[in-house]
């Protein structure tokens, strides 16, 4: 296990030049000076990241599956929302056994999404709009159709045999996605190969230096094209226990990928970090450490020499429950702060039930959760469609696509009110989420009280407030069913109160506060009277703070 050395600041590199492709850094902001003297790589701390799941975002060629040209057409939606960074789930060549997480060529785009030229255009168009681009890097496994694996399985003495993990005997390790044993027998060469996911996703052997070199080549390929960083798929899985010992949790039916935590994964990450840091422009690594333990997750920041940020998924599973959220948030504060590890916050993604669905379909709760997501200390990640309050798609048994049963959150984004909701095909690859017309982007732009406007206002407010972007986090005394906290940076101060209860509750705050954002469409800009409505969240600012002059207020963008 790697030890976290608290005194080593994260990312102390100073990179004076910006490459042709990468985004220039954010303009100097005097309010950031205190942090800036300690850390020059602030853009990703202040970022709001928007996850694009390309199959379901937007479809330019009318085949019912989203594509890169479709993303380009809709980039202005992301910009109007106010997010500044997009993470795009895999776009590479793939047989699509796991919707693109089974890659047969890391250095090309799958024809279903477009071409390499489209990827270049997308990076350029995003940068032109001030959006940074993160791609999904999938280091743990390739597709079984990748030429490397085809070679590896061709004979025991093939030079690429050792690029994958072959054994004479299986152990009890289990694969994820309901795939049973993590070992598949190869009849032709008489050995088993390892796959922590589907049999079509053989695991690479990162202990082989040629694999390291080849995968570093993949990173360089995309860094040279100007991407601003990567989301790293199952970053905790590349290292495996070299003794291949059975694991009791696997015996009990749990997939190894849920808890694999071999020290070698840290070595892999250190190598990747070194490479990425050698590029100018503050490129960033966000790791998917899919282990439900914040104490373990924090180890993957290393001594400031592994991930810049890691996902921490306990809030992604959390029901609408103040105790669960309070525990998750306190834990992040207690464990990440001393390690100088910058937190991330995720409520939904393409692998898990959408949070509105998880909260019993309640739009009211989803609105309160939005206030929480965008006011916690750390970088928020928005999964496409949560800004619309979408729920999971209802998929009939005959329509199921994903072998892991994760179709629910992957429904197409409804852009327009009228069917086919801005998609050009008669039939999309998955059905639309419920209430597609009422929740469409077009409908919500025209309604000032919509979820979309709530997200937009929250992001805009966050951007304008150093306290919300970079400030400290301190919990405030509150009734047990209310979560209240203060964010502070210099003399900028905000308070957030979230009432999880289905009844009104009072909260006793020191000082006078004005409601800057209300999760309920109740009318802003009123003095806070200390009462929280059922399942209401409010963002408060000091009552006597000078208010922005009208000419300083920005007009909201619309795509």
Q: Is 407 in the site for ligand NOJ (CB under 6 A)?
A: no
Three-state DSSP at 58 gives coil
Residue sitting closest to ligand NOJ (CB): 101
Nearer of residues 233 and 492 to ligand NOJ, judged by Cβ:
233
Q: Is 233 a catalytic residue?
A: yes
Taking alpha carbons only, the member of 335, 344, 349, 337 closest to residue 136 is 349
Is 333 among the residues that bind ligand NOJ (CB under 6 A)?
A: no
Please report how close the Cβ of residue 233 comes to ligand NOJ at its closest, in angstroms.
5
Q: Looking only at residues 260 through 289 of this chain, which bind ligand NOJ when binding is defined by CB under 6 A?
A: 288
Residue from 149, 197, 206, 383 binding ligand NOJ (CB under 6 A): 197
Q: Are 341 and 297 in contact (CB under 8 A)?
A: no
Q: Please compute Rg for the chain using Cα positions.
A: 23
The CA distance from 114 to 108, in Å, is: 10
> How many residues sit in the footprint of ligand NOJ (CB under 6 A)?
9
Sheet strands (E) in 130-276: 132-137, 166-167, 183-186, 191-194, 229-232
Distance linking the first and last C-alpha atoms of the chain: 47
Instruction: Exactly one of 102, 282, 288, 351 is catalytic; name it.
Output: 288
Any idea what DSSP says for residue 112?
A: T
Residue in 102, 233, 267, 351 annotated catalytic: 233
Contacting ligand NOJ within 82-101 (CB under 6 A): 98, 101
Least distance in Å: CB of 180 to ligand NOJ? 16
Phi, psi (rounded to 5 degrees) for 514 = -115, 140
List Cα–Cα distances, 497 to 316, 360, 375, 376, 485, in angstroms. 20, 21, 10, 12, 7
Angle at 432 between CA 426 and CA 438, to 5 degrees: 110
Please say which residue, 41 or 89, places its beta carbon nearer to ligand NOJ.
89
Q: How far apart are CA 2 and CA 142, in angstroms?
A: 27
Q: Which of residues 217-236 bind ligand NOJ (CB under 6 A)?
A: 233-234
Cα–Cα distance for residue pair 349/363, rounded to 1 Å: 18
Cβ of 111: how many Cβ atoms within 10 Å? Answer: 9
**C-alpha torsion sign, points 163, 167, 171, 172:** positive
Smallest separation (angstroms) from ligand NOJ to the CB of 355: 16
490: left (phi over 0), alpha (psi -120 to 50) or beta: left
Q: Are 312 and 334 in contact (CB under 8 A)?
A: no
Which residues between 123 and 162 bind ligand NOJ (CB under 6 A)? 138
351 binds ligand NOJ (CB under 6 A): yes
3-state secondary structure of 512: coil
- Cβ nearer to ligand NOJ, comparing 55 with 421: 55
> Closer to ligand NOJ at the Cβ: 101 or 183?
101
DSSP secondary structure string for all residues of 364-379 = HHHHHHHHHHTTSSSE
Minimum distance from residue 222 beta carbon to ligand NOJ (Å): 17
The smaller minimum CB distance to ligand NOJ, of residues 228 and 351, is found at: 351
Instruction: Give the shortest CB-539-to-ligand NOJ separation in angstroms.
Output: 31
For ligand NOJ, the closer of residues 181 and 442 by Cβ is 181
- The reply to whether 162 belongs to the active site is no
In the bound state with ligand NOJ, the residue whose beta carbon lies nearer, of 73 and 288, is: 288
**Contact call for residue 182 and ligand NOJ (CB under 6 A):** no
Peptide bond connecting 420 to the previous residue in cis, omega within 30 degrees of 0: yes
- Give the Å distances, CA to CA, from 126 to 85, 133, 224: 9, 7, 16
Contact 64, 429 (CB under 8 A): yes
Residue number with CB closer to ligand NOJ (98 or 407): 98
Residues taking part in catalysis: 233, 288
The footprint of ligand NOJ (CB under 6 A) covers: 98, 101, 138, 197, 233-234, 288, 350-351
């Amino acid at each position: 296990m790697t030890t976290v050395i608290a005194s080593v600041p994260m990312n102390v590199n100073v990179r004076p030049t910006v490459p042709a492709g990468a985004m220039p850094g954010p303009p100097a902001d005097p309010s950031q000076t205190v942090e800036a003297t300690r850390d020059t790589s602030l853009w990703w701390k202040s970022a709001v990241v928007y996850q694009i799941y390309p199959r379901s975002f937007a479809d330019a060629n009318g085949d019912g599956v989203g594509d890169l040209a479709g993303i380009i057409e809709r980039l202005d939606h992301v910009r109007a929302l106010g997010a500044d960074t997009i993470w795009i789930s895999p776009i590479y060549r793939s047989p699509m056994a796991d919707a693109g997480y089974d890659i047969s060529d890391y250095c090309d785009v799958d024809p279903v999404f477009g071409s390499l030229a489209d990827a270049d255009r997308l990076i350029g168009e995003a940068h032109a709009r001030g959006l940074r681009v993160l791609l999904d890097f999938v280091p743990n496994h390739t597709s079984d159709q990748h030429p490397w694996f085809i070679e590896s399985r061709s004979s025991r003495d093939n030079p690429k045999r050792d690029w994958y993990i072959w054994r004479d005997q299986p152990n009890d390790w289990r694969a994820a996605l309901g795939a049973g044993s993590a070992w598949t027998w190869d009849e032709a060469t008489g050995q088993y190969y390892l796959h922590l996911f589907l049999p079509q996703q053989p695991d690479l052997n990162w202990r082989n230096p040629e694999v390291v070199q080849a995968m570093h080549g993949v990173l360089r390929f995309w860094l040279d094209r100007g991407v601003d960083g990567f989301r790293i798929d199952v970053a905790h899985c590349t290292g495996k226990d070299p003794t291949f010992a059975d694991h009791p949790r696997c015996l009990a039916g749990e997939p190894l990928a849920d808890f694999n935590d071999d020290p070698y994964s840290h070595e892999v990450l250190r190598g990747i970090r070194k490479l990425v840091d050698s590029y100018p422009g503050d490129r960033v690594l966000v790791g998917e450490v899919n282990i439900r333990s914040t104490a373990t997750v924090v180890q993957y920041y290393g001594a400031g020499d592994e991930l810049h940020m890691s996902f921490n998924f306990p809030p992604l599973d959390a029901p609408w429950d103040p105790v669960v959220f309070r525990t998750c948030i306190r834990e992040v504060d207690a464990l990440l702060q001393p390690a100088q590890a910058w937190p991330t916050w995720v409520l939904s993604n393409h692998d898990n039930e959408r949070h509105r669905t998880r909260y019993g379909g309640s739009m009211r709760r989803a609105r309160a959760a939005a206030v929480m997501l965008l006011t916690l200390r750390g970088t928020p990640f928005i999964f496409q469609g949560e800004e619309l309050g979408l729920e999971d798609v209802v998929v009939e048994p005959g329509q199921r696509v994903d072998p892991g049963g994760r179709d629910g959150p992957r429904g197409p984004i409804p852009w327009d009110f009228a069917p086919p909701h801005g998609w050009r095909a008669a039939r999309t690859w998955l059905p639309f989420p419920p209430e597609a017309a009422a929740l469409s982007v077009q409908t919500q732009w025209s309604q000032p009280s919509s979820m979309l406007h709530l997200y937009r206002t929250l992001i805009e407010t966050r951007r304008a407030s150093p306290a919300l972007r970079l400030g400290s986090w301190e919990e405030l005394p509150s009734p047990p069913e209310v979560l209240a906290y203060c964010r502070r940076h210099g003399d900028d101060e905000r308070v957030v109160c979230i009432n999880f209860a289905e009844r009104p509750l009072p909260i006793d705050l020191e000082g006078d506060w004005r409601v800057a954002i209300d999760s309920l469409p109740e009318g802003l800009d009123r003095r806070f009277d200390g009462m929280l409505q059922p399942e209401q969240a409010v963002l408060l600012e000091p009552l006597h703070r000078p208010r922005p002059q009208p000419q300083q207020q920005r007009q909201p963008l619309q795509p």
